Amino acid sequence: MNDRVQRLVSTYSQLGIDALVITKRENLRYIAGFSGSTAACVVLKDGSGVFVTDPRYEVQAAEEVHDFDIIISLESALSEAAKWASQAQIASLGIEAASMTAASRTKLSELAPGIRIVETDQVIEKLRAIKDESELMLLRQAAKIADDALATVIRDVIKEGVTELDIAIELEYQMRKLGGDKPGFDTIVASGPRSAMAHGAPTDRKVRPGDPIVIDFGCNYRGYTSDMTRTVFIGEPSEEIRRIYEVVLEAQLNACRNLRAGMTGREADALARSVIESYGYGDRFGHGLGHGVGLEVHEFPRLSPRNDSPLELSAVVSVEPGIYLPQIGGVRIEDIVVLRPDGIENLTSSPKELICL
């Protein structure tokens, strides 16, 4: 039984269930090693189980999945898994309540009559919050590709007259050229007053003198996604925008300097929020300080006023304060960092001082 399966089984055994069925793509990758898209896996308490997929993935499953018996079927993976579970003489079966559709759940009950279906609450997602060395290697590489792509785009592409889309497309192209598999999420490039939108999708707006340009993007490298934001300027920004840049930078640096495992998500968030509030911009920082990153771009843990749980060692989280002034513009600066025993390891290395192009 591999280490991840062992941790999974010991967690869900405490819930009093006999097996767990997994269909969420990132969880299949984490537990079974499968990088394809359509499959189901039933994990029994002794760590054995079955992995079901369809003939499109027959070769891939044989290469990637080692800890479970493999069934290849033209039936839906979940149906096959349900049939297998009902023959395996289990009394209860856990499901991923946060990601299974109502229709799938109904089908599961019909196909596995007599088995008690138990909702579990993101059991695997909670395990995934803590990264092992192999995961950290992939995240380090994903972050490096993003850093290098941004450096090229700042040097060669961003100047007066190019569009937000030009910048986004070039970033994505450079990441692919550097070995990235795909963008980690929809690239955000928002310039001028549009930068006040925390999640502005790129448009054909041309950047012009005085504009802030918020660039928030990530690289997916072998399943793992980096996440970073820099705000750069065309020419000289206005005094007000320059001021919020300095406040956001101070908040971001303060958070990076003082963030520690063992703090609650609320305490971590306050490292940046208190700085922004002290300058009077507290009501313009309308999101949490950060979030875990890994197989998904937003995962556990949350650095947020709403999270009172302690952050665990070896979590990888974003640190991304921002200030957004409607009709004027916004600034965000974001790194991803590993929580280490003596502080953080910053995986993002792009410079953070004000850059005017």
Query: Contact, 269 vs 288, CB < 8 A?
Result: yes
Q: State the DSSP code for 223.
A: T
Decide: is 164 part of the binding site for Mn ion (CB under 5 A): no
Considering the complex, state which of residue 50 and residue 338 has its C-beta at the smaller distance from Mn ion.
Answer: 338
Least distance (Å) between residue 15 CB and Mn ion: 31
Pick one of 195, 307, 318, 348: the residue that binds Mn ion (CB under 5 A): 318
- The C-alpha angle with vertex 82 and arms to 79 and 86, in degrees rounded to 5, equals 145
Looking at the DSSP assignment, which residues form a beta bridge with residue 188?
216
Could you tell me which of 46, 116, 122 has the C-alpha nearest to residue 302?
122
Least distance (Å) between residue 318 CB and Mn ion: 4
Least distance (Å) between residue 280 CB and Mn ion: 25
Least distance (Å) between residue 286 CB and Mn ion: 14
Could you tell me which of 130, 89, 108 has the C-alpha nearest to residue 40?
108
Considering the complex, state which of residue 227 and residue 269 has its C-beta at the smaller distance from Mn ion.
Answer: 227
> Looking at 105-113, 187-195, 227-235, 281-289, which segment touches Mn ion (CB under 5 A)?
227-235
Provide the mask over 274-293, with x wherever binding to Mn ion is found by CB under 5 A and - wherever it is not: --------------------
How far, in Å, CA of 299 to CA of 313, rounded? 15
Least distance (Å) between residue 223 CB and Mn ion: 18
- Amino acid identity of 108? L
Decide: is 120 part of the binding site for Mn ion (CB under 5 A): no
Considering the complex, state which of residue 49 and residue 265 has its C-beta at the smaller distance from Mn ion.
Answer: 265
> Looking at 80-88, 126-134, 316-324, 341-349, which segment touches Mn ion (CB under 5 A)?
316-324
Pick one of 54, 96, 147, 227: the residue that binds Mn ion (CB under 5 A): 227
> Looking at 78-86, 110-118, 281-289, 314-322, which segment touches Mn ion (CB under 5 A)?
314-322
Helix, strand or coil for residue 10? helix
Count of residues in the chain: 357
Least distance (Å) between residue 70 CB and Mn ion: 36
Considering the complex, state which of residue 105 and residue 298 has its C-beta at the smaller distance from Mn ion.
Answer: 298
Per-position DSSP letters for 298-340, written without gaps between them: SEEEEESTT--SBPPTTBEEEE--EEEETTTEEEE-BEEEEEE
How far, in Å, CA of 281 to CA of 6, rounded? 47
Considering the complex, state which of residue 304 and residue 318 has its C-beta at the smaller distance from Mn ion.
Answer: 318
How far, in Å, CA of 41 to CA of 54, rounded? 13
> Looking at 43-51, 118-126, 152-160, 219-227, which segment touches Mn ion (CB under 5 A)?
219-227
Using DSSP bridges, classify how beta strands 299-303 and 224-225 pair: parallel, antiparallel or unpaired: unpaired
- Amino acid identity of 214? V
> Looking at 30-38, 161-169, 318-326, 343-351, which segment touches Mn ion (CB under 5 A)?
318-326
Considering the complex, state which of residue 115 and residue 319 has its C-beta at the smaller distance from Mn ion.
Answer: 319
Decide: is 226 part of the binding site for Mn ion (CB under 5 A): no
Considering the complex, state which of residue 27 and residue 318 has its C-beta at the smaller distance from Mn ion.
Answer: 318
Total residues in contact with Mn ion, by rule CB under 5 A: 2
How far, in Å, CA of 345 to CA of 337, rounded? 5
Burial of 132 (0-12, 13-18, 19+ CB in 10 A): exposed
Q: What are phi and psi of 285, to 5 degrees?
A: -110, 80
Looking at the DSSP assignment, which residues form a beta bridge with residue 71?
52
> Looking at 80-88, 189-197, 262-270, 313-321, which segment touches Mn ion (CB under 5 A)?
313-321
Q: Which positions touch Mn ion (CB under 5 A)?
A: 227, 318
